[in-house]
Amino acid sequence: MLSLYLYISAFFLDFTVGDPPTWPHPVRVMGHAISGLERVLRRRAKTPDALYLAGAVLWLAVVGASAALSWCVLSLAYQWHSAIGALVELWMAYTVLATRSLNDAALAVMVPLLCGDLSQARYQLSMIVGRDTERLDSEAMTRATIETVAENTVDGVIAPLFYLFIGGVPLAMAYKAVNTLDSMVGYHNARYRQLGCVAAKLDDVANWIPARISWLLMAIASGFAGGSPRSALTIGWRDRRQHASPNSGWPEATVAGALGVRLGGPNYYFGEWVEKPWLGDAKRSLQPADILLATRTMWVASLMALALFSAGFLCVSKF
């Protein structure tokens, strides 16, 4: 039962504090480890088949180490003292959540857009998206920001909470490693097509259940954030398979339906024009203030996920 209170506290700690860039964070350690191991593995893997195998080794090493180290640290902390163990568990649970940082990153794009400062908006957007931002106008930047909020509501909040409540901190840390690997090497370009294959596929597996939970939670949440729950449910279901990812289409199509706008579509990625289908119906044009509606939907859906998983945790703990 202590863990339940700690996980709820971790959520509200993230709500209050976010992710200060000067604070230590496990994901930064994972990022350094992935970069270092990638360099080592590339020096030894010279053929496509070897790169596929290197990608599997990279995934096993990073995900396995993340789970094992977090379990060891937590066990040692509780052996030292129960209060220290609780504080360490609270901190580790807090670090797997990214609700506040996602909110702040989205608003950092919205504010210059509202002020007409497209150069600053492009710079802020480049911090959170993989597409090229140099050619994007205000509406395209708004679309990209909303897509990022929608997709990362799953990756940064609902999925970490899901794994935190079913497997504790070690499983949640393993998920963050899976997600970090996908964000760093899971690209479908020439450089990472082989090395990142395992990371991309297993990230799809890890997000399969949370993405589908997000469809319902975000649709309901949109009603509290100024959107249309009925349209969110309908468009989310209709366009869920339009996205190249088996998971990202669920939250993005749901938010598109909630706002009555189109998301997705073609864009430049690493200098290459990539054709992507549209999600949703263009009942109106996008405005920078729509970013705020997307973040409100994220917050309400996150609170609903916390309540849902807490209730499930309590039910299971009675048996």
Q: Tens digit of pLDDT for each residue in 45-58?
A: 889 999 999 999 99
Q: Is the pLDDT of residue 214 over 90?
A: yes
Contact between 19 and 105 under an 8 Å Cβ cutoff? The reply is no
CA separation for the pair 151, 157 (Å, rounded) = 10
Phi, psi of 20 (to 5 degrees): -55, 130
Nearest Cα neighbor of 301 from 96, 163, 158 is 158
* Overall size of the chain counted in residues: 319
- Candidate ranges 64-73, 236-245, 307-316; pick with highest mean pLDDT: 64-73
Averaged over 31-56, what is the pLDDT?
94
What is the average per-residue pLDDT within 197-209? 96
Identify the pLDDT of residue 24.
83
**What confidence tens digit (pLDDT) does each residue in 249-279 have?**
999 999 999 999 999 888 877 767 777 889 9
Q: How large a percentage of the chain has pLDDT more than 70? A: 100
Across the strands, what pairs with 268? 273
Q: Supply the pLDDT for residue 132.
A: 83
**What is the Cα–Cα distance from 236 to 173, expressed in whole angstroms?**
29
Q: In b/e form, how buried is each residue of 60-78, taking b as 16+ CB within 10 angstroms? A: eebbebbbeebbebbeebe
Cβ neighbors of 6 (< 8 A, separation 6 or more) are: 86, 89, 90, 93
Burial class (CB in 10 A: 0-12, 13-18, 19+), 35: exposed
What amino acid occupies position 117?
A: D
Q: Which residue has the tokens 């294959």?
A: 197
Query: Band of the pLDDT at 95, cuts 50, 70, 90?
Result: very high
DSSP-assigned states of every residue in 98-110: -HHHHHHHHHHHH
The 3-state DSSP composition of the chain as helix, strand, coil percent (nearest 5) reads 70, 5, 25
